[in-house]
Structure 1
Amino acid sequence: MKTINDLLILEGMKEGIVLAGHRGLTRNVQFVNISDTPDVINFLSNNHLLLTTGYAFKDDPEKFCELIQQMHDLNCSGLVIKINRFFNELPAEVRLLADDLAFPIIDLPTNHTLGDVSRHILNYLNDAETEQLYYALHIQKEFSNMLIKGYSLAALLERLGHSLARPALLLNHRGEKIAQSHHFLKESMKKIEMEIIEKVKEDLSSAREGTTFSIPSHEQQSISTFPVQTKRQYPSMLVIFDSLTLPYPSSQMAIEQAGNVISFTIIKEQAIEENSRLLKNNFFADLIEMKIQSDEEIISRANYYGLVKDLENVCVICTIDADGDIYETLQLYEKKVGELHNSVYDQLEDELIHANLEATLFTKGKYFVMVLQFPRYTEEEVDTITKFIENVQANFKGEFTLSFGVSHSVQPLKDMPTAYDEAVEAILTGYDQNLKGFIKHYKTRDLKELLNTLPRKDLKALYENTLKSLAYPKTKDDQDLVKTIQVYLDSQCEFSETSRKLFVHRNTVKYRIEKTEELLNCSLRDPSDSLRIRVALVIGSILKEDEVENS
């Protein structure tokens, strides 16, 4: 049954002011009567609410008090009066009597007619769906006011639990607890909370869409989840315990209205989180671009974002493989690209948490950068990172594939630019090989690989200027000289070791080396001359490979 207090959410009544008898707002209401006649008491009965202008008693406070006493004796609900129509204020003796009897008297604003207010109340009393709608709108307004005033998610959940008289729990998209009503603080509810979370995690997709289930310890009671949309790809979840027996006039509609406000609150908090993410990314950019010179500042700022000094740091870079018409079309819509990048960021964050890795996630341009930290970086840690990346690729939900570049480890943190450059180079190497969905660990380039990146005309000039007539040996003697200096240099300029490898006499090696030094005007024992000739010999092998490929 409805009470006077319940009516205060209705149009007209919600602007009313309780003038007296506040303790009686819990009186039940079953019917409404409008009258300004002196003998109105003859037409009232148990649980009747009287709407009046008070005209019959405007000059007779004593008769007004008599009416209040008679209505109280009949167990009437209360009196709604337009006090400003014929009274300046409620007579003091009437106020005292109403307060003493806990008989509510409510002032109705003059801009509302008694007929309209009566209609709203009767509809509310007689139509359950209308009542539930009014209550849902009341919940929506109340929660919106809390949002505007900056109430926390914990306060919203507490209010929802109180309004529904049911335990309420808010979980994020991973099924982890964000907030709860006070019910779950009780020791007896700890097991229930654990069972609910376990059940939700068993089938996250269904829970995110909204479902009803039971738990082992309370199989007779229903538990329902309601999706709470946020800026993330997947919604958070509002969980209501014993949801199918909500006390009247609570309804699923009221829960959804509260859920909408909770959604806005989460989105507001996510906006704050995104601003923090921007500051974090700015720090990483400063670190990579070596704009932070002080070791103390690097350590201090890095520690704020979860990076600890004196650990081995590995940089793992992730990119979206942006090939094909789908991505090109997507680029036309900046918002869609932003949503895609946010989705990838969220999924990487989820995977890092699930893998229980010590890591911090940044973004730099199109790259998602994960800095993983280990006490020691061995082959075991390399396998850990590889398996982690494979799981990310396997679990990734989207139309695109992800590729990863992994650096060597560096220590201290100020060497992070080196790790970042290595991871980027590993990514670019994979794309140079036309790969997609790959994992590339950085490999230090040898001399031949580095020389291969130079223009061929520059290599040829260096080769010919260094080896001169031996650059293109035509006779057997010249070929023997080139072979001898190559083995001689590889043997650390030892005559005996060179003669052993070439199967010639030691004096023969000595003669050939002296003749070579005379032809090239150098000393093979001189470090700079030796390096120059070593490089020229490597270039010779590159040029020969080019000839084979072009033949």
Structure 2
Amino acid sequence: MSEQRVGHGLICRDLLGMPHLAGSKVLAGHPGLDTAVIRVNVMEVPDVIDWVMPGEFLISTGYPFRDNPSAFAELIPQLVEKGVAALGIKTKRFLDEIPTRVLDVAEQYQFPIIELPPGTVFSEVVREVMERVLVHEAAQLALLQRRFQRFSELLLEGKGLEDLLGHVEEELTNPILLLSSVGKLRVSPSTERLTQEMGLKKQLTLEQLQKNSKLGIQHLVIGDREIKMTVTKIKEQYGIESFLLLLEWHQELTPIDTLTLERLGVLIHLEMMNMNARREVEAKYIDQFLQDWLIGRIGTRRDLDLRAEACGCPIDHNGYFRVVLVRWLAAVPDAVQLKRIVQQLRQQESLHSRDFLYVILGDHLVVLFNSEASLQEKELRRRLKASLQGINSQHSSPFTFSFCLGKIVNSAEDVNESYLQASNICTISYICGMEQEMITYEDLGIYKILYLLPQGRELAKFREEWIAPLEAHDWKHQSSLIYTLFIYFDQNENVRKTAQKLYTHHNTVIYRLERVKELLNVDLQHADDRLQLQIALKLYAMEMRRLENGNEPLRGGL
């Protein structure tokens, strides 16, 4: 018996060739003769519908309906709904013939009605059918075992997932694809051309599969064909999922093929776990190398090159280097989430090049790349957003971020300088409440000087002289003088724009500014007074940010 034939198993049509069913006739429902038969049952009670199972060949003498043969017609739709394969009726004992009404309904539902000869022995029929079913199931199990063994040997030989998919396609005679949790599509070499010609990479996206709750059987329209697709979930680490996709491109799946896919999912899961374990070991060496490089622990260029080669991160000394530190603005990923983000970012890298190098330092994600082009920063932002999609979908407060850009250096030995500057930008921008998408050292303005001022008595005294009267007035009168000043200076001292920003009348802004002048006894038109007030406001904002987190920038700085 061929492997392909084994996959289809026993069908209704095969019943007619069995010795103990010789002389049987199909009276109705011929299109249903290709239905699979996996068990046999005897019906001699009228409420049999409560006991039938899918795939059963149901046989009867017609005894339950001897007084009302037409009642068979009412039973047929219920049998079809239950998944019964066919009904065999032995005539000439309780029923002389099967009523035309029954045959008409069976024909309508394409449900096979088989007339059994009067001499049919039900016990022999049950034995013969079940023998055939058990032989078929044994052959299926043997075939499944052979397939599973071949697939396991391929992985043990280190062939990889692409080669495994190619061998699976030969067995199942259909294209099979693996869509990873980062949206990477793995296919065999023979299916690669198909995915390109038919635009499958655009149709088979991670987002579409994750949103579609009806996993199992789906349908794709490819060209002018509608293709049935079997989708199998594969769990990875941290609860993330990949998807195994089989397209019924050449032929329909058989039950043994479906079982093969289930077993294949287990093998792929184990291989992915193995790959992740290898990646984690490699990642530890890469992490240590990058941390030492950024912090400045590697002394000479020779040592740097040796360690870079050993980690698979060769350095292009002809390029530029820049360090980007990711500063989380609201919610902050925990250690597990941050590790998952880095893993997904690294998986997006090409197998033959590393455009970006990612590492975790403290509670921060740090990125190193070899270009001064702004396109690199845009691409990094795109990749980071893509890696956050799965995590953000599970949280009510999504993770948002700023890029703190260290200076560009043209020597690998100077990367530490870029990292230190990015760290300072992260700390200062947090304390100063800056939340731009990208922040450079130049963007810090006067804050980079104010941050360096020692937190002593003189600084506190200067801040209090300018802020305390306003703070007391705001508290006593429930007013907004301090906030108005922030907006006023932010809008370049434009009263109309300040009023628009505050959603108030411009006369209200003018009144508040007059109250500031009276309380501080200053002239806002005087350059020196205006400068001192602006500096005091910035120092006040920095102090408030410090106090929010116990004098430590826990969410923004290092």
TM (normalized to structure 1)? Answer: 0.50
Query: If you compute each CA radius of gyration, which structure gives the higher value, 1 or 2?
Result: 1
**What is the TM-score with the length of structure 2 in the denominator?**
0.49
